[in-house]
A and B are shown apart, each in its own frame.
Chain A
């Protein structure tokens, strides 16, 4: 949409939006220089440079242990949510049986419910049944609930741009349903699957409140330990943690974005 208002007349708008963008992007980056500080203060710019906070981070079992827990939880959540979420999206795509809509709404609803409520609910269920509190399985199942809407929405969008009759053709030529899905459908929705995997991994990796309610002791996730440290004793180790988290949560989406753009250009 081009405009009949000159750029000069709109200068104030550009400046205002520039300031908002600065407010959105710049503050987070401050954790990077602070993580290389040589002192215990969180001042910016740091008085001197060192990598001591990274040594501190990698030297403490509390941090390293929680990183492993988080990576394991996020990987399990990603696998489970992507598989059962894709199966559900496949089943619900273009289907009009009686419960289809109810199921669809239920699967997306965790997005609308405040996560503190989901966390409290899961805590009550685990506390009542016993045995699920503070277990890896318990945390993974909890994260599966909050990651589900992202997988469902991504896969629904993926299936909506895919012509299901191709799979029908494969089946009419003698392929089994599963074979038809893996050899005809899956290659064409692979980007949606990759996006769904990435989203479910990141949602789990970032999730705090469920982890706070149901995961303590040996299954404390990185976000839980970070939050506790942030509340109780702040030091630049947190800046090192934050820098690493920035890397983990921003590099994979960027890589996927570039990869998708490049492949699409090639296919054209």
Chain B
């Protein structure tokens, strides 16, 4: 008798479940809302405010006059060229330095790979300010590098290594390399070692096997890491401000300075929007490429 369930009972049961499910969703929304509100109010909303501010010129008229400024004044043009050029050079150097490290990280046996990982992670965790200051000491006129080079009689007079482009690039590469190594390592770790062995078995030389098998399989991590480093370079602040000695102006400093110095914030807002746009485009392209590379397998 008790086995019989009437349709009204079923209906009641279904309704209770539905109510339960709704209650669950509501509870989850409530739990997630504080975090969401903080990020939405302090990041998403301000970015929209920036966009609207950038569209009103000095005269209060709606339009693109703030943006037109960037193409008419050579200071801005030079700053954009500088920013992209530095980001490009730094990314290229990071690639050359980072790829072999990630490769060894992926293939070394246990204790060694752990130590190498530590060597990548410790600087990753160290404050950028501290690292920038350390470079200031090392690269100064009578710093360690210049002293050593003079002692080795490679140069006669100390080189200008800091407060210029050279110092900026050395310091930025130092901060960015781990950001390239970590995603690269993740994608190399997933490569099946048997593939390389199979290649060798079929008569491929180590170099050939590397270029035909390993390198293509590490491409997703390579693209992701490279674009991440490039994007971070575009918006970088500390190192160019200190090691560039005021001579190297990148976009982030220009934004900060124009807010600190000028009463109207339209141009700064326009610069910020441009930086955001460039970042978004780079990330979007990287996502597309990585997706295509991983789907192509």
Residues of A within 8 A of B (CB): 1-5, 9, 13-14, 16-17, 20-21, 23-25, 27-31, 34, 42-44, 84-85, 87-88, 90-92, 95, 97, 99-100, 103, 106-107, 109-110, 112-118, 120-125, 128, 141-142, 144-145, 148, 152, 202, 205-206, 208-209, 212-213, 223, 226-227, 230-231, 234, 238-239, 242, 245-246, 249-250, 253
Instruction: List 29 contacting pairs A-B, 8 Å CB cutoff, sorted by A.
Output: A4-B206, A17-B100, A25-B122, A27-B131, A84-B38, A88-B32, A88-B34, A91-B30, A92-B32, A95-B25, A107-B35, A107-B39, A109-B44, A112-B283, A116-B235, A116-B275, A121-B45, A121-B46, A121-B50, A122-B42, A125-B46, A125-B49, A142-B42, A205-B127, A223-B129, A226-B129, A226-B133, A227-B241, A242-B133
Residue contact B35 to A84, C-beta cutoff 8 Å: yes
Contact A28 B34, beta carbon cutoff 8 Å: no
Question: CB-nearest residue of chain B relative to A205?
Answer: B127
Which residues from chain B contact A2 at a C-beta distance below 8 Å? Answer: 109, 193
Q: Which of B83-129 contact A (CB under 8 A)?
A: 97-98, 100-101, 103-104, 106-107, 109, 116, 119-120, 122-123, 125-129
A250 B38 Cβ-Cβ under 8 A: no
Q: B125 to A250, Cβ gap below 8 A? A: yes
What residues on A are CB-neighbors of B34 within 8 Å? 84, 87-88
- Using CB atoms, name the residue of chain A closest to B21: A97
Contact A144 B46 (CB under 8 A): no
Q: State the CA gap A109–B136 with chains docked (Å).
A: 33
Q: When each residue 193-213 of chain B gets 1 if its CB lies under 8 Å from chain A and 0 otherwise, what string results? A: 100110010000010000000
* A124 and B49 contacting across the interface, CB-CB below 8 Å: yes
A253 B279 Cβ-Cβ under 8 A: no
Report A-chain residues with C-beta under 8 Å of the C-beta of B231: 112, 114
Known: A120-B272, A125-B45. 13 other contacts (CB 8 A): A3-B196, A20-B101, A24-B120, A25-B122, A27-B174, A87-B31, A88-B31, A103-B32, A114-B275, A118-B43, A122-B46, A148-B38, A205-B127
Can you name the residue of chain A whose Cβ is closest to the Cβ of B41?
A: A125
Which applies to chain B's interface (DSSP): helix, strand, loop or mixed? helix
Q: Which of B125, B193, B241 contacts A253 (CB 8 A)?
A: B125
B 7-28 to A, binary, CB cutoff 8 A, 1 in contact else 0: 0000000000000000001011
When the two chains form their complex, are residues B237 and A116 in contact, meaning their CB atoms are under 8 A apart? yes
Which of B61-69, B74-82, B150-158, B252-260 participates in binding chain A? B252-260
Min CB gap A221→B, angstroms = 11
* B56 close to chain A: CB less than 8 A: no
Question: A208 and B42 in contact (CB under 8 A), knowing A17-B116, A87-B31?
Answer: no
Total cross-chain contacts (CB, 8 A): 244
Q: Determine the residue in chain A with the shortest Cβ distance to B123.
A: A24
**A91–B29 alpha-carbon span in the complex (Å):** 7
Q: Do A30 and B45 touch across chains, with their CB atoms under 8 A apart?
A: no
A25: contacting residue among B45, B119, B144, B275, CB under 8 A:
B119
- Is B185's beta carbon under 8 Å from chain A? no
* B106–A106 CB distance below 8 A: no
Cβ contact within 8 Å between A231 and B241: yes
Shortest distance between the CB of A96 and any CB in chain B (Å): 9
CA distance A109 to B178 in the complex (A): 20
List A contacts of B100 (CB < 8 A): 13, 16-17, 20
Check if A109 sits within 8 Å of B279, measured CB to CB: no
Interface: B130 (CB within 8 A): yes
In the complex, A83→B41 CA distance in Å? Answer: 18
**Residues of B with Cβ closer than 8 Å to A?**
25, 27-32, 34-36, 38-47, 49-50, 53, 97-98, 100-101, 103-104, 106-107, 109, 116, 119-120, 122-123, 125-138, 140, 142-144, 174, 177-178, 191, 193, 196-197, 200, 206, 231-232, 234-235, 237-238, 241-242, 252, 255-256, 259, 265, 268-269, 272, 275-276, 279, 283
If the complex has contacts A44-B144, A113-B279, are A30 and B138 also in contact, measured as CB distance less than 8 A? yes
By a CB distance below 8 angstroms, the chain B residues around A128 are 49
A120 to B43 alpha-carbon distance, docked (Å): 10
Are the CB atoms of A117 and B174 closer together than 8 Å? no
A110 and B38 alpha carbons, distance in the complex (Å):
11
Partner of A212, one of B144, B191, B197, B256: B256
> Closest CB-CB distance, A26 to chain B, in whole Å?
9
- Bound Cα distance from A28 to B140, whole angstroms: 15
Given contacts A110-B39, A121-B42, A227-B238, are A234 and B177 in contact (CB under 8 A)?
Answer: no
In the complex, chain B residues whose CB is within 8 Å of the CB of A125: 41-42, 45-46, 49
Taking CB atoms, residues of chain A closer than 8 Å to B27 are 91
